[in-house]
A and B are shown apart, each in its own frame.
Chain A
Amino acid sequence: MILRLPFLSMHLPARAITVSLCLVSLLVVALLSALHLGAYPLNISQIGQAVLGHAEGIQRMIVLDHRLPRILTAIGAGAAFGLAGSMFQTMLRNPLASPDVIGFSAGASCGALLAMILTGGFVLFGALIGGVVTALVVIGLAWKDGLHPYRLILVGIGASLTLSAGADLLMTKLDALTAAEMAKWLVGSLNARNWADVQLIWVGLAVLLPLSLWLQFPLTRLAMADDIANGLGVALSSMRLAITATAVALVALAVSVAGPLPFVAFVSGPISRRLVRQGKPALLQAAIVGALVTLLADMAARSVPLVHLPTGVFTAIIGAPVLMWLLLVQFKKGTL
């Protein structure tokens, strides 16, 4: 299928559209069951009334103040992680790349711990500052006549490892109780989200999602060799900088509402690529996969009784089997 508009014409492959529609319907089903899930029993019509604003009292409170904000935050944060991870993997031409590669997560952990030690609070603020400063320093150190993927990866590994060792070191300076609390935060949790979080992540996505989808055009060319991309008219270094900045902004947003949820950024790209099978990055689908993985992980965390498990424990338990299954299917079909 080919889309032709006065300002834009693009190829819309049927498989990509089918996959997106399937993923979106899965997401909707997951969203509805997430609204249904919980200690307080609500049937579908009660939930519907509450969402539309017709319910009163406890029903309204549970749906609108507790479940819905948490679900929408999970979807938004997951989408942001999925987008950012997929962009990094394509740009750096490395399936193992994720925002961790440029040290964002390690920097954020260090920042959060430092803030806790120095001020006894401001964890989120410290994390964001730590993450962004680390990303800037890594880009600065890796910049030498432009931004080369391989150098960025190496500098990123160095910074990331040093900072996570630093975080381990800082962790030993805390007392046991604070350490346990910080450990939970560092795994990533979606407990007790409110509408301010929802607003933050969705307003951010409203700006950054279109920007990312537009960046998909140069990104597809950057995935080829440098010479080819250059020959196709991509300004390599400035495009890489733009893509890195967008991805870092996405991760910063997601971390600020959900903490550094592990694995979502890594797994969304490979899953969506294998589903879409068009041989180029599928950013939109990666975003939906990220949202789906995060929402399902959060539902799993919520359904464990008695203990409050952080969502981050479950992202890999949900995401990894899907990737393993896709690898197995591919193996049988002999593709890749």
Chain B
Amino acid sequence: MTAHTTSVPSEAPNTDARGMWLGLSVLGLIVLSVFALRFGLRPISWGSIWSALTAFEPLNPDQIVLREIRAPRLVGAVLAGASLGMAGALMQGMTRNPLADPGFLGVNAGASMGVVLCVLVLGITDPAAFVWVALGGAFIASLLVFLLGGGNQANPARLILAGAAVSALFLALSRSLLLVSQQTLDVYRFWVLGGFDGIDFGTITALLPFFAVGIVLSLLASFVLNALMLGTDTARSLGVRVGLAQILIGLAIVILCGATVSMAGPIAFVGLIVPHIARWIAGADMRWMLVFSASIGAALMVAADLLGRLPLFGGNMQAGVMSALIGGPVLIWLVRRNGVRKL
């Protein structure tokens, strides 16, 4: 009952093309970032962007908006998009399941549960405190998933079932607690919408070590993941210590997603869509896959955040919703155009 255990040897895209695509996607990210700084409720001229970087005037309102609001928002979106993209690629690679999103390790559900309990029991309503509560909840939930999934002899199919069961239970429990307490609902409602609205550099700096560790761990994991994707038995015979590798990958996913969810709330879609888009460009090699997932994820997130600020979508649509609105059709178009490449 595992998903596709057969992995089709795909024709390896030549390295030059991949390098070119990588350059293009990074260029796209830079262009989008500049737009994200320029546009918004208060359009800021190109000159102000430049002078905010070179000659900061503390009393210039344009520059304050740029430094205090737009810049942290942009950095947050880039970090979140890259992390979710990488975590999604790792998750789908490890479980060999195209339906697995990084939330399946229980991270989002655990974080939500943590926030709900924190408001309900401790009466804390300060969003700044939620960062650590959410992170703690995420770690506890994913530990539970990992134990139920079979510990270090985890079998991908079981891990996924355990993750889905734990996530659903935690989400249902938090939802029923919310129905009981109106006051908690009022606080939680805004946290769960997520997005990059009230984000500041303080939060980002506090979480930066987590992002750094997560990214380094994923890049390390990508080397064993290529072997792991051939199936656990094959990987073992190739000399991979499967249990250890799975723990390493799981840890990377949890750290990346935990940091993201505590910064920007549960953003579900990016981790699911981006790896599929990256797979068409990068082919099956996980090392390329991860890099592409990071750059495409970041670009998608910045674009979503930018589009969400347009008046057409109410001026303030969450980036999570917008990224699904953009990413979904792209995914379908790619499937139609390029045919199927299995995991």
A263 CB–B CB distance under 8 Å:
yes
- Chain B residues within an 8 Å CB radius of A164: 324
Whether B179 contacts A317 by the Cβ 8 Å rule is no
8 A Cβ contacts from B304-343 to A: 313-314, 317-318, 321-322, 324-325, 327-332, 335-336, 339-340, 342
* Contact among B161, B169, B314, B340 for A316, CB-based, below 8 A: B169
Interface residues on A, range: 35 or more
Interface residues of B in 1-32 (CB under 8 A from A): 1-4, 6
Taking the nearest CB of chain A, how far is it from the CB of B163, in angstroms? 9
Q: Does A154 lie within 8 Å of B328, measured CB to CB?
A: no
Q: Is the interface of B mostly helix, strand, loop or mixed?
A: helix
Produce 1/0 per residue, A78-100, CB < 8 A to B.
Answer: 00000000000100011111000
For A330, what are the chain B residues with a Cβ–Cβ distance below 8 Å? 158
A98, chain B: closest CB distance, angstroms: 10
Cα separation A95 to B4 with both chains bound (whole Å): 11
Knowing A169-B313, A169-B317, A324-B148, the reply to whether A150 touches B327 (Cβ < 8 A) is no
Q: Which residues of chain B have C-beta atoms less than 8 A from A275's C-beta?
A: none
Complex interface residues of chain B between 201 and 242 (CB less than 8 A to chain A): none
Would you call B276 and A154 a contact (CB within 8 A)?
yes
Q: In the complex, A313 Cα to B173 Cα: how many Å?
A: 8
Is A247 an interface position by the 8 A CB rule?
A: no
The SS class assigned to the A binding surface is helix
B165 touches A324 (CB 8 A): yes
| A168 contacts B321, C-beta separation under 8 Å | yes
* A313 close to B176 (CB less than 8 A): yes
A323 CB-CB contact with B under 8 Å: yes
Which of B3, B99, B160, B172 meets A157, CB within 8 Å? B99
Q: Which residues of A contact B324 (CB under 8 A)?
A: 161-162, 164-165
Q: Does B161 contact A323, Cβ atoms closer than 8 Å?
A: yes
Cβ-defined contact, B171 with A316, below 8 A: yes
Partner of A101, one of B99, B269, B276: B99
CB–CB B314/A172 < 8 A: yes
Shortest distance between the CB of B224 and any CB in chain A (Å): 23
Choose from B4, B179, B331 the contact partner of A93 (Cβ within 8 Å): B4
Asked whether, in the complex, the Cβ of A165 is within 8 Å of the Cβ of B269, the reply is yes
Chain B interface (Cβ < 8 Å from any Cβ of A)? 1-4, 6, 97-100, 148-151, 155, 157-158, 160-162, 164-166, 168-169, 171-173, 175-176, 179-180, 269, 272-273, 276, 313-314, 317-318, 321-322, 324-325, 327-332, 335-336, 339-340, 342
Shortest 4 CB-CB contacts between residues of A and residues of B: A162-B328, A316-B172, A320-B169, A165-B324
Give 17 A-B contacts (CB < 8 Å), ordered by A residue.
Answer: A95-B161, A96-B97, A142-B335, A148-B340, A153-B99, A154-B98, A155-B332, A162-B329, A164-B324, A168-B321, A313-B175, A313-B176, A314-B172, A320-B168, A328-B148, A331-B151, A336-B155
Chain A interface (Cβ within 8 Å of chain B)? 89, 93-97, 101, 141-142, 144, 148, 150-151, 153-155, 157-166, 168-169, 172, 223, 225, 262-263, 266-267, 270, 273, 307, 309, 313-317, 319-321, 323-324, 327-328, 330-331, 336
